[in-house]
Amino acid sequence: MLLQAGSFVCHIMNKKNMYIGWDIGGAHTKYTMIKENSLKVTSKVFPLKLWESLDPLKKIINETQNKYGNVYRIKNAITMSGEMCDIFPNRKKGVKEILSLFSKRSFNNYIYTSNNGVIPINKFKDFRFVASMNWHIIASYIKSIGKNIIAIDLGSTTTDIILIKNNKCVNIRTDDYSGLKSSELLYTGILRTPTFSVTKCIKYNNQKYNLIPEFYSTMGDIYRLLGVISLRDDYSDTADGRSKSTINTLTRISRSFGIDYDKNDKELIINISKKIMSEHLDQISYNIIGHLKKNFNNTKDLYFIGMGVGRNIIKKICRKSKWKYINLEDALSYSNIDAVNNLSKNTPSFLLTLLLKKIHE
């Protein structure tokens, strides 16, 4: 028995760390895993619909504990924007309830705060430094790798514009309200955003096409139809719950214009979609230019980094505007390019994992 007990203690002491960065959103929860003394990365996206129930998130957390807890010492670092969901009466309660799901498990838990970085979960005091601060992780990480950077995280639902000037974050946002007011947060993305929110009317071939303000189609349909997003990046649900086939995509977009789709309408719908995409890119570009003029006039050594599921859209915008663009993997000097291409759509969870790893190694 003594030998067995000693073996058990030895096993516990010999466990390696498993670092997990969690980015808990309303529509999607993302995590990134890196083992101790390793560069191998695992990253996943879960469409959990937090506004309906916390049970799916609780299940993912429990499954992670059950799968890895006996082999590794799990060290979690948590960030979020899901506290905004209307399942919670307010953001403070949302932060508390989300964190309680981790506190109930036998993890070593940390949380990202905008004022103190990564700290043990039991040491944070003010929810305002936690709520919707996943964008701030990007600022914390990249301010040390470049003097002047505009990083744009274009996701499924929102666009975060992160401003680094002279190695300091010059964003003025402190929450979603101030982010929207300053246009550092844009509530537009490339998957879940309703098509009608981008424009109310499209003019094509001297004809006017009005969009119905109903949730008939999304920008995911537009970018899918035009071949801009890959299948692995196309992870959000469709507006009608049907498949992402070309015919269903064309039907959804047509419905937004009050058109019953027919095969003879295909060229028209494709050309209208191109106009919608152009309008979307112009809106994002307009906001970037505003920050460029305000914060970086006459700054020559300025670089742009695209992140998120829409990183290729940002790259396209930068090329058109002749701005200096650098890929995330080059900015990080990270050798596993395939991993970074996949992880750049999960940038906050990825960088949070790296920050947690730095603390312990």
Residue 106 to residue 302: CA distance in whole angstroms: 45
14-135+337-360 shares its CATH topology with 146-332: yes
| Tens digit of each residue's pLDDT, the chain (361 residues) | 444 544 444 445 578 999 999 999 999 999 999 999 888 888 899 999 999 999 999 999 999 988 998 899 999 999 999 999 999 999 999 999 999 999 877 779 999 999 999 999 999 899 999 999 999 999 999 998 889 999 999 999 999 999 999 999 999 999 999 999 999 999 999 999 999 999 999 999 999 999 999 999 999 999 999 999 988 899 999 999 999 999 999 999 999 999 999 999 999 999 999 999 999 999 999 999 999 999 999 898 999 999 999 999 999 999 999 999 998 878 887 655 455 555 677 899 999 999 999 999 8
- What is the enclosing helix (H) or strand (E) of 19? strand 16-24
Instruction: Give the count of beta carbons closer than 10 Å to the beta carbon of residue 69.
Output: 16
Return the structure tokens found at 159.
């666009």
Q: Which residues pair with 164 in a beta bridge?
A: 149, 169
Fold observed for domain 146-332:
Nucleotidyltransferase; domain 5 (3.30.420)
Buried b (16+ CB within 10 A) or exposed e, 72-84: bbbbbbbbbbbbb
- pTM across the whole model: 0.91
Pick the CATH number of 14-135+337-360 from 1.10.3470, 3.30.460, 3.40.50, 3.30.420: 3.30.420
Buried b (16+ CB within 10 A) or exposed e, 5-26: eeeeeeeeeeeebbbbbbbbbb
